[in-house]
Each structure stands twice: as structure tokens, then as C-alpha cells.
């Protein structure tokens, strides 16, 4: 139920939706691709855009330089709880461009069979999401002249490229960023109409291995059979990473992996997850993880080892009969519980080295290592947010897990000693990191209304 404080804010959000959408489209036009140095000026431009927009609302906003892309921090004084909101303004590369139906940085609102969507790179991950919170703050300021809490907005520009500047910035700016609780909007709904509060996240370990055999690519007719082929070595290593039941074979890998509690298992069963429908959306039918595990358990609370890319020999059009000099694979591990990413990295490398034949060598390139995160739901904000979300959406809000990795949640606990709530409004079909990324207009609209409700609920106690 709304009241005289919240109701006019929600009405303002409704009447301002067109202008809010236009502002988001402006931000989406900036190709702030953090992983590619060619787009560094665009990352600066996106940070400047956000500083200007936040200043127009009344925030004390500034761009903070780092050794990489800048951070944006905006603050406003006020009574009530201290709240830190986090989002990221950088985006993934748009490649392959030929698979997009429009220029990824020429965003537009489109009509689809499922409703209106905002189409463009970053629309769901994470510009559309972070703007839901900013638009909620804008509406509060326009209606009441001030925000209902002491709010700090913290926007990062390197999330999609490993966040190399994040931990040093947190360590150097603890007083600037510390709050009673952090809010993170980089997640999604459960299904299409059930709001979700993430209570656990998987960690992430990335490893790139390059196996080198001969000093150059070889003619397969002249050398095939007598020369060791690095692609064959790599294939065997990858095949041996799982046993016949789907378990991962890296020694000590399951140290620190907890079993799912009966209480949590029952709560997840109540969500009626349809694995066949979930896989059917991407042309698959059968769960392929560890045998004997629930589908949601595989996604949210079990660790994984996956090959994200492989390269060896000639991969262009046509055919070239060569034995490659090198074979490379990018392999990621999603981690849970108390798994130690650094211990797993050491064990994985030892297993790979043991499989390298005498005529080959191996080199490793690390790509991040973060532990899993577990949220403490005893903080009163969790129940306040759950009730507020339930008032906005058709279905009651649920506490859920997340198969992805958002290290910032654990970093807030480690470096700022505060809990985090992860609440987002994306959908499974938003195609984040893929061509034709979109964000439902209803997600943008109801997400903004949701944050207004949450801010209201958190400041009424």
C-alpha cells in the first residue's frame, strides 16, 4: 500500500517515463567498452555524462581517476540510513557486429511480440539497470526536494574487464564509500514477473592455457604421425577435466563445497523451475552437470569447470592441412562455498603440467580469481526490500541464488565491512554479452518504481 509520501513519487515516475527512456538512450549511445583501449575516450565520456546527470539532480558528483577507467562517486546528505548504490557504466564489446539487427550503439525502443524493449549494447548490463536507481532518485528529488536517505552512488568503469582498479579504490576511499548497506543492480528477475533478491553468488576463476609443440605450423602430410600435435594434447586435457558422472577431476576441487540445506532445497523446489523450458530457449533439452543434482542446484550452488574458447591451427574459410604450433583454451571455474580460487588455480596448473608430453610446453595466463559470496539476510533491509518488491510485481519477491559472479558484493564485505543486497530487473532473454541485447521497457519502468518503494521501506523503520 502506498501513502502520501510514496504515491506522488510513483506517479512522477509514471509520467516521466518517456523522458527517462530518452536519457537512457543518450547514455547507451556512448560505446564505453572497457576492455578495448581504443574506447578509453568513450569510457571517459560516459563517466562525464553520469557526473553531469547526477549533478543535475542535486548530487555532489565527481569523476575519480584510476590507473584504468574512472570511477564516478555521487553523494547527497540527509537523514536516515546511509545507503551505497553500485552499478557499472562500461559494457561488453559488441562483436560479432554482423549478428546485430541494428547498430549496437544506435539504441532504440522496439515493439516485439513480447512487448516493447530498449535495444542496444548495455541496455540491460548495466546502464539500464543503474539508471533505474538514478531515475528513482530523480523522482524523489522532484517531488519532495530531497532524498529519503543519505545516499552515495558509486559507478565503476571496469566491471566488464576484470575491475583491476576496484580493490585499490575501495582501500583508498573507505570513508567515502562506507554505508549501512550496499545496493547492487546487476542481476535479474526470477522468470518474467517474480522479483528476486540474490542471497548467494558463485565465485570465478579464469585460466588461459597455451600449449606449444613444434616451432612453427607443420605440413600434416610431411609431419603427421611423427610430430606431436598440441591440439591433440589440449583435447585430452580438456576431456579429462570431468569424469563420467560430470564431477570435476582437479585434485582438491570440492574442498569447501557445502551440501544444499534441506530448508534451501525446499525453498528452491517451491520456485517450480522448469529445466526443460530453460534449456529449450537455447535449443537444448538435457541438464549436463553433475548427475543426481537438482537443476537449480547446478546453476546456483554447485561449482563448474567450463571451456569458454579454444584456438588451434587454421580456423578460416576452407581447409588448410597443418599441424598447429600452438593450441590455446580459455577455461573458467565457477566456485561456491569456501572454495579457495588460488588453491584451485595451483591444483589445475599442476594437473595440466602432468599431462604435457616431453616435446611440448605450457604457459598459463590468469584471468581473475574471486571467491563465492554469501549474503547475511538477517539485516532488516532484506525483509523491507522483499515486501516493497512484492507490492510492485505480480508475484511475491523471492530469495534466490545466482550462477553468475559479481565480486563487488564480497569486496564490500571484505573492504568496507557491509552487507549487500543484489536486486535487478533483467530477464533471461535479455541477451547480455550477446548480439541484440535488450532491456524490457517494463523492466526499466517497474525497476524504477521498485527502487522508489525500497527506499521508502528502508526509511520508514
State pLDDT tens for residues 154-192.
Answer: 999 999 998 999 999 999 999 999 999 999 999 999 988
> Residue 1's pLDDT is what?
45
Identify the weakest region by mean pLDDT among 140-154, 198-212, 236-250, 399-413: 399-413
CB 105 within 8 A of CB 123: no
- pLDDT number for residue 404: 80
Q: What percent of the chain has pLDDT over 90?
A: 87
Which pLDDT does position 257 carry in this prediction? 96
Superfamily for 6-201+373-458?
Answer: Zn peptidases (3.40.630.10)
pLDDT for 17 equals: 98
Enumerate the CATH 3.40.630.10 domain ranges in the chain, comma separated.
Answer: 6-201+373-458
Do the Cβ atoms of 458 and 385 come closer than 8 Å?
Answer: yes
Whether the pLDDT of residue 461 is over 80: the answer is no
Mean confidence (pLDDT) of the chain: 95
3 state DSSP class of 456: helix
Average pLDDT over residues 407-415: 89
Residue identified by cell 549511445 is 29
pLDDT digits (tens, 9 = 90+) for 24-80: 999 999 999 999 999 999 999 999 999 999 999 999 999 999 999 999 999 997 788
Domain 203-257+303-370 has CATH 3.30.70.360: yes
pLDDT tens figures, 268-314:
888 989 999 999 988 999 999 999 999 999 999 999 999 999 999 99
Q: Cα 62–136–70 angle (5° rounding)? A: 25
The arrangement of strands across the sheet holding 361-370 comes to 304-312, 326-335, 203-212, 361-370
Q: Backbone phi, then psi, for 356, in 5-degree steps?
A: -85, 125
Q: Could you tell me if 407 and 370 are in contact, meaning their C-beta atoms sit under 8 angstroms apart?
A: yes
Write the DSSP symbol of residue 190.
B
Q: How far apart are CA 60 and CA 75, in angstroms?
A: 5
Alpha-carbon dihedral of residues 36, 37, 41, 42, nearest 10 degrees?
0
| pTM given for the model | 0.82
pLDDT band at 375 (very low <50, low <70, confident <90, very high): confident
**In the predicted model, what is the mean pLDDT of residues 345-356?**
98
Is residue 374's pLDDT more than 90? no
Cell of 205: 576463476
Residue showing cell 559507478:
155
Rg of the chain over all Cα atoms, to the nearest angstrom: 24
The pLDDT confidence band at residue 2, using thresholds 50, 70 and 90, is: low
For the chain, residues classed under CATH 3.30.70.360 are 203-257+303-370
Residue range 388-399: mean pLDDT, rounded: 95
Average pLDDT over residues 191-197: 92
User: Mean pLDDT across the stretch 221-248?
Assistant: 97
256 in Cβ contact with 339 (< 8 Å): yes
Amino acid at each position: 500500500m502506498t501513502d502520501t509520501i510514496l504515491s506522488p513519487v510513483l506517479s512522477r515516475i509514471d509520467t516521466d517515463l518517456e523522458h527517462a527512456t530518452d536519457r537512457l538512450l543518450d547514455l547507451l549511445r556512448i560505446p564505453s567498452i572497457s576492455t578495448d583501449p581504443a574506447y578509453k575516450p568513450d569510457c571517459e565520456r560516459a563517466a562525464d555524462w553520469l557526473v553531469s546527470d547526477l549533478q543535475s539532480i542535486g548530487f555532489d558528483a565527481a569523476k575519480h581517476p584510476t590507473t584504468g577507467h574512472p570511477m564516478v562517486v555521487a553523494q547527497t546528505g540527509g537523514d536516515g540510513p546511509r545507503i551505497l548504490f553500485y552499478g557499472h557504466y562500461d559494457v561488453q564489446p559488441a562483436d560479432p557486429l554482423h549478428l546485430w539487427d541494428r547498430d549496437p550503439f544506435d539504441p532504440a525502443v522496439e515493439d516485439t511480440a513480447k512487448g516493447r524493449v530498449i535495444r542496444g549494447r548495455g541496455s540491460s548490463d548495466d546502464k539500464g539497470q543503474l539508471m533505474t536507481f538514478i531515475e528513482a532518485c530523480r523522482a524523489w528529488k522532484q517531488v519532495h526536494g530531497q532524498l529519503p536517505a543519505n545516499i552515495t552512488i558509486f559507478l565503476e568503469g571496469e566491471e566488464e574487464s576484470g575491475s583491476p582498479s576496484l580493490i585499490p579504490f575501495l582501500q583508498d576511499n573507505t570513508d567515502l564509500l562506507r554505508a549501512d548497506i550496499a545496493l547492487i543492480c546487476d542481476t535479474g528477475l526470477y522468470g518474467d514477473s517474480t522479483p528476486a533478491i540474490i542471497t548467494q553468488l558463485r565465485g570465478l576463476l579464469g585460466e588461459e592455457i597455451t600449449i606449444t609443440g613444434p616451432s612453427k605450423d607443420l605440413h600434416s602430410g610431411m609431419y603427421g604421425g611423427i610430430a606431436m600435435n598440441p591440439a591433440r594434447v589440449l583435447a585430452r586435457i580438456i576431456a579429462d577435466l570431468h569424469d563420467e558422472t560430470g564431477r570435476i577431476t582437479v585434485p582438491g576441487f570440492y574442498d569447501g563445497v557445502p551440501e544444499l540445506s534441506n530448508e534451501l532445497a525446499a525453498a528452491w523446489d517451491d520456485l517450480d523451475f522448469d529445466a526443460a523450458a530453460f534449456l529449450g530457449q537455447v535449443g537444448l533439452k538435457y541438464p549436463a552437470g553433475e548427475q543426481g543434482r537438482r537443476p537449480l542446484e547446478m546453476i546456483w550452488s554447485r561449482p563448474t569447470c567450463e571451456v569458454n574458447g579454444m584456438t588451434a591451427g587454421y580456423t578460416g574459410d576452407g581447409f588448410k592441412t597443418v599441424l598447429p604450433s600452438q593450441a590455446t583454451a580459455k577455461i573458467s571455474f565457477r566456485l561456491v562455498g569456501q572454495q579457495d580460487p588460488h588453491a584451485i588455480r595451483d591444483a589445475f596448473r599442476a594437473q595440466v603440467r602432468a599431462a604435457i608430453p616431453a616435446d611440448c610446453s605450457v604457459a598459463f595466463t590468469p584471468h581473475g580469481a574471486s571467491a563465492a559470496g554469501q549474503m547475511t539476510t538477517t539485516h532488516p533491509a532484506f525483509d523491507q526490500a522483499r515486501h516493497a518488491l512484492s507490492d510492485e510485481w505480480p508475484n511475491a519477491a523471492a530469495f534466490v541464488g545466482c550462477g553468475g559472479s559479481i565480486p563487488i558484493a564480497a569486496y564490500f564485505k571484505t573492504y568496507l565491512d557491509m552487507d549487500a543486497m543484489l536486486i535487478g530487473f533483467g530477464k533471461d532473454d535479455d541477451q547480455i554479452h550477446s548480439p541484440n541485447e535488450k532491456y524490457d521497457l517494463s523492466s526499466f519502468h517497474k525497476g524504477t518504481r521498485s527502487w522508489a518503494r525500497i527506499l521508502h521501506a528502508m526509511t520508514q523503520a
